[in-house]
Amino acid sequence: MLDILGLKINIIQLILPIVYITFGSILFRILKKLILRATTKQTFIKKEQQQKVNTMRSLILNIIKYTIVIIVLLAILANFGINIKSILAGLGIGTALVGLAFQDLAKDLIAGFSIISEGEYEVGDTIEVDGFMGEVVSIGLRTTRIKNFKGATKIIANHYMDNLINYSNSNSLAVVDVGIAYENNEDKIEKVFDKLFKRLNGNIKDATKDLELWGVNELADSSVVYRVVVETKPTKQFAVERFLRKEIKKEFDQAGIKIPYQQIEVHNGK
């Protein structure tokens, strides 16, 4: 029996904390090794899926680590005769106060875990949130980062990600409206479109189906507006639309079909 600062402590009480710490450290290493082995990158896992696996692995390891630390600490305090029941009661009250003070943080963490586990969207997906459209560059437990085509990055708290559009879940639709002067013959126009479609079908990058002419979409002030559509891979519609506009202009020039444009007539008052 040793007398340290007035406290009667036996040898076993001095040895047990070392045993608890050693056991906790070994247990964490074993669990960490098992989790790492179970979540090691596989060749058949996509990059986006691996990001989700890595995030969940980090979360699980943190939960295990802090749980072991708390249990070991309580065991050491109990070993020295300290009443841990009052400490646990205090922790319960403290946790409640912290929860009230950090409600938004708790919402973000819960939403982040839900997003990662349910796969609502993943890194690399193109999504739109409150009018901001871009590519998901990272998903954390608190926030999601989205980068638009201009390079601007928006950081959004996860509990605000409940109202979004994911454009990467299904194929997109490229839509091109072409205004043609009223004096052009309708039969001739459709023949030109038919010739264009035969030339382009099967040769449009990222298109998943053949081109379609949906016919007259609008009778505008100075033109008849025809609509051309084609299904594309997710988020590839904009590049396909730009390509189609170029090819339509080229085909119409060869056929002598005028695409109207705004003109201003100036009359001399003399």
- 3-state SS of 178-239? EEECCCCCHHHHHHHHHHHHHHHCCCCCCECCCCEEEEEEEECCCCEEEEEEEEECCCCHHH
Q: What is the pLDDT of residue 42?
A: 57
Tokens of 137: 């560059």
DSSP assignment of 113-174: HHHHHHTSS-TT-EEEETTEEEEEEEE-SSEEEEE-TTS-EEEEEGGGTTSEEETTSS-EEE
| 145 Rama sector, left if φ>0, alpha if ψ -120 to 50, beta otherwise | beta
Which pLDDT belongs to residue 268?
61
Q: Which helix (H) or strand (E) holds 69?
A: helix 47-79
In whole angstroms, what is the distance from residue 189 CA to residue 92 CA? Answer: 76
User: Residue 49: its pLDDT value, please?
Assistant: 63
Q: Token pair for residue 96? A: 């409640």
Range name among 4-13, 106-115, 126-135, 245-254 with the lowest pLDDT average? 4-13
pLDDT single digits (tens) 151-188: 899 998 888 887 888 888 788 999 999 999 888 888 88
Task: Count the neighbouring beta carbons within 10 Å of the beta carbon of residue 3.
Answer: 8
**Amino acid 8: pLDDT:** 54
Task: Please state, in angstroms and rounded to a whole number, the distance separating the CA atoms of residues 261 and 258.
Answer: 9
Q: Give Cα separations from 134 to 115, 130, 165, 267 (angstroms).
A: 17, 11, 11, 48
Cβ pair 227, 179 in contact under 8 A:
no
Backbone angles phi, psi at 40, to 5 degrees: -60, 140
Among 135, 126, 124, residue whose Cα is nearest residue 49: 124
Q: Give the percent of the chain with pLDDT over 90.
A: 23
Q: In what order do the strands lie in the sheet with 172-180?
A: 172-180, 224-232, 212-219
Q: Is the CB of residue 156 less than 8 Å from the CB of residue 144?
A: yes
pTM tops 0.75: no
pLDDT tens digits, residue range 95-134? Answer: 654 555 456 667 777 777 777 777 778 878 888 888 898 9
Answer whether 126's CB lies under 8 Å from 133's CB: yes
